[in-house]
């Protein structure tokens, strides 16, 4: 018995160890690129494309720019697509529910409202018991906090404002609190993008409908409308405040930075809604910040932020952009900033809240000596999630359900599925590949040459050239999990006399950015580029290089839906460059992206804006089979 136990203790761990790699696996695992190169190249690709602040010398010039920019962001980005515009134009439904006791001087009304038809938002209205004839109003938005509208720091903010005579609407955010569900995961908003419908629209409508509710109150003062929020709530704050001029004061807390800053600091790369398709072809967050000029803004950041948007790098570019514009209005005092040092981490705690109270006092209650910036203790009035729950319809639409409905109504016109349209949808670039040999190695009877392929001096992708004896034909192999995962597929190709070029296009395998890959894909997309276009053009460039280098037009073999879609687009765009396309583990219908409920985090390049609106696999195959 003791010997058996000893065997289990000492031998089983040895048996469970991963076997050593085969010769082929070892060659495929050989690193070719310098560490960190893909992320550096992505940064160098993105930073120059971020729009700069306009050089204006007069207030009229700025106002014309701001009005045009605001209009274009709303029309071309937020409400892009016929369905998004229908949502915008739909009548808002509001249902008022119970009123519960708050604390001394205020009460809480429960309500729910439709951000768009069939998608209900639970909310809480904190109202003073004795409102003034004209009363300031405040929209409280929140970030990535599982407690949502019940988060204590958010409740305390709303309570304190109510005790100061300000009505606050505390709204739930998608994926948080009562809306914390799989269908509201933010990375699923891109399912709408795939269908040619702005996934940003529900986010914006949730906020703008909240403002509608506040300003419809009989004693709301339209000259005193504030918005505040932490983290994703900070992003919401600057987004709604810059684009909806009904907001007269905003306080985004640790919620955003310039796209140029995000390219440089990986911690700031934001979720899908923060990096929406094509926003940065119109405006950066620098411009959105400056568009608060003529109103009031308090930019709050944390000195030691342990999440994102730390004060030292996020704040200065925003101030540099906005300060000259506020000066054009002769209102420099209306742009303020606050850097929190206690605790200095990612927070909207008492120091940051008191900075907000001070800003509201100066802007909304000037000269009122009775207005206090000190927080009123109210921890005993903070309520539980259950106390604050708002009943919702059993069938409440989410991002996934909205995308399925949008896809069902798509009617593609075959005559419009042209190569020119595909070039436009994927923003297909013109790429040429040049090669640098990075070494060679022989293991057993397999010879390997390692190449760095330089794509237009913009991207560097690794290629492992493999031969086993005399090679008669060439096969390019691309796998979703990177070339190191493709040994089983490559082995029979080598034995059948193929020269194999195992390639990792940008965003895949060794050319990926690790866990931040999808965030870089989002950043590329907000700048008007498309990862699908980049990858497919790289595949075509590799194919042309291989044909010239090895005197034989290559086959393309792909493994997985990501690489397969990129390979199919490459063949559809440049059928003369590829002798044959052989996908494996692919999807035959792009509706499968939605049926599988994939997210942009799972398979980032698949969510190319409007792809499913204009093409399916059938149309892509037809282009691949036609002459250029």
Percent of the chain exceeding pLDDT 90 equals 95
For domain 411-625, the CATH superfamily is Alpha/Beta hydrolase fold, catalytic domain (3.40.50.1820)
First to last CA, the chain: 74
Question: Residue 238 corresponds to which tokens in the numbers above?
Answer: 């600057």
16 pLDDT tier (thresholds 50, 70, 90): low
Question: Residue 204 corresponds to which tokens in the numbers above?
Answer: 């914006």
CB 402 within 8 A of CB 408: no
CA torsion through residues 324, 328, 332, 336, sign: negative
Whether 60-408 shares its CATH topology with 411-625 is answered yes
- SS3 state at 197: coil
1 pLDDT tier (thresholds 50, 70, 90): very low
pLDDT tens digits, one per residue of 576-596: 999 999 999 999 999 999 999
Give yes or no for residue 13 having a pLDDT over 70.
no
Domain boundaries, the chain: 60-408, 411-625
For range 595-604, the mean pLDDT? 97
Residue 157: phi and psi, rounded to 5, are -60, -45
**Chain mean position to CA 221:** 35
- SS3 state at 195: coil
- SS3 state at 506: coil
Per 3-state DSSP, the chain is made up of helix, strand and coil in percentages (nearest 5) of 45, 20, 35
pLDDT tens digits, one per residue of 187-223: 999 999 999 999 999 999 999 999 999 999 999 999 9
Burial class from Cβ neighbours inside 10 Å (0-12, 13-18, 19+) for residue 344 reads middle
For range 417-434, the mean pLDDT? 97
Per-residue burial over 181-217, b = 16 or more CB atoms within 10 Å of its CB, e = otherwise: eebbbbbbbbbbbbbbbbbbbbbbbbbbbbbebbeee
> How big is the CA angle at 611 (ends 607 and 615), to the nearest 5 degrees?
140
Q: Compute the distance between CA of residue 570 and CA of residue 574 in angstroms, rounded to an integer.
A: 6
For range 481-500, the mean pLDDT? 97
Q: Compute the distance between CA of residue 123 and CA of residue 112 in angstroms, rounded to an integer.
A: 6
Give yes or no for residue 6 having a pLDDT over 70.
no
Q: Which residue has the higher pLDDT, 6 or 305?
A: 305
Q: Compute the distance between CA of residue 309 and CA of residue 313 in angstroms, rounded to an integer.
A: 7
Chain-wide mean pLDDT for the chain? 96
Give yes or no for residue 355 having a pLDDT over 60.
yes
Q: Count CB-CB contacts under 10 A for residue 317.
A: 18
Supply the pLDDT for residue 7. Answer: 44
For range 56-85, the mean pLDDT? 98
Supply the pLDDT for residue 37. Answer: 98
**pTM score, two decimals?**
0.95
Percent of the chain exceeding pLDDT 70 equals 97
Give yes or no for residue 5 having a pLDDT over 80.
no
Task: Find where tokens 């300031």 sit.
Answer: 136
Task: Find where tokens 């515009």 sit.
Answer: 85
Give yes or no for residue 19 having a pLDDT over 90.
no
For the domain covering 60-408, report its CATH number.
3.40.50.1820
């Amino acid at each position: 018995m003791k010997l058996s136990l000893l065997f289990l203790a000492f031998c089983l761990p040895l048996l469970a160890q991963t076997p050593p790699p085969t010769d082929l696996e070892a060659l495929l695992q050989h690193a070719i690129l310098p560490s960190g190169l893909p992320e550096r190249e992505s940064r160098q690709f993105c930073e120059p494309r971020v729009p700069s602040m306009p050089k204006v010398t007069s207030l009229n010039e700025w106002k014309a720019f701001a009005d045009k920019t605001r209009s274009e962001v709303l029309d071309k980005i937020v409400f892009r697509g016929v369905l998004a515009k229908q949502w915008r134009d739909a009548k808002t439904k509001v249902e008022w529910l119970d009123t519960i006791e708050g604390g001394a001087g205020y009460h809480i009304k429960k309500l729910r409202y439709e951000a768009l038809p069939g998608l209900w938002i639970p909310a809480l209205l904190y109202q003073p018991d004795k409102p003034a004839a004209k009363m300031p109003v405040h929209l409280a938005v929140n970030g990535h906090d599982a407690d949502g509208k019940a988060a204590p720091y958010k409740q305390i903010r709303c309570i304190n404002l109510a005790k100061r005579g300000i009505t606050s609407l505390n709204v739930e955010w998608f994926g948080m609190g009562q809306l914390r569900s799989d269908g509201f995961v933010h990375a699923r908003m891109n399912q709408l993008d795939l269908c040619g419908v702005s996934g940003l629209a529900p986010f914006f409508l949730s906020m703008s409908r909240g403002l509608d509710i506040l300003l419809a109150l009989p004693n709301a003062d339209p000259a005193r409308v504030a918005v505040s929020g932490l983290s994703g709530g900070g992003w919401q704050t600057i987004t709604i405040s810059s684009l909806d001029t009904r907001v007269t004061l905003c306080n985004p807390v640790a919620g955003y930075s310039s796209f140029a800053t995000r390219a440089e600091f990986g911690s700031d790369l934001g979720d899908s809604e923060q990096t929406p398709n094509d926003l940065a072809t119109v405006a950066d967050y620098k411009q959105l910040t400056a568009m608060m000029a003529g109103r009031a803004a308090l930019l709050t950041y944390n000195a030691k932020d342990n999440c994102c948007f730390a004060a030292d790098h996020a704040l200065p570019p925003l101030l540099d952009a906005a300060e000259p514009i506020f000066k054009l209005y002769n209102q420099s005092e209306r742009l303020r900033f606050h850097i929190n040092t206690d605790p200095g981490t990612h927070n909207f705690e008492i120091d940051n809240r008191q900075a907000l109270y001070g800003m509201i006092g100066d802007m909304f209650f000037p000269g009122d000596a009775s207005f206090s910036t000190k927080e009123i203790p109210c921890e005993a009035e903070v309520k539980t999630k259950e106390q604050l729950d708002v009943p919702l319809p059993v069938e409440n639409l989410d991002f996934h359900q909205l995308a399925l409905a949008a896809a069902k109504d798509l009617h593609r016109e075959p005559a419009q599925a042209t190569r020119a349209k595909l070039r436009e949808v994927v923003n297909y670039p013109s790429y040429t590949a040049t090669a640098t040999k990075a070494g060679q190695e022989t293991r057993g009877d397999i010879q390997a040459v390692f190449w760095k392929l330089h794509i237009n001096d913009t991207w560097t992708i690794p290629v492992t050239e493999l031969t086993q004896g005399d090679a008669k034909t060439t096969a390019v192999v691309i796998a979703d999990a990177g070339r190191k995962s493709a040994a089983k597929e490559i082995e029979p190709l080598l034995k059948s006399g193929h020269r194999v070029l195992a390639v990792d296009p940008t965003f895949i395998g060794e050319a990926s950015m690790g866990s931040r890959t999808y965030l870089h894909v989002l950043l590329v997309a907000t700048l008007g580029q498309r990862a699908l276009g980049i990858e497919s053009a790289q595949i075509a460039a590799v194919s042309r290089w291989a044909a010239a280098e090895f005197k034989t037009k290559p086959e393309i073999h792909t493994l997985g839906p990501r690489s397969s879609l990129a390979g199919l687009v490459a063949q559809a765009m440049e059928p003369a460059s590829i002798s044959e396309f052989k996908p494996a583990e692919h999807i035959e219908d792009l509706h499968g992206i939605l049926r599988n409920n994939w997210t942009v985090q799972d398979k980032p390049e698949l969510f190319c804006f409007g792809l499913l609106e204009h093409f399916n696999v059938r149309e892509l195959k037809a282009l691949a089979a036609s002459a250029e």
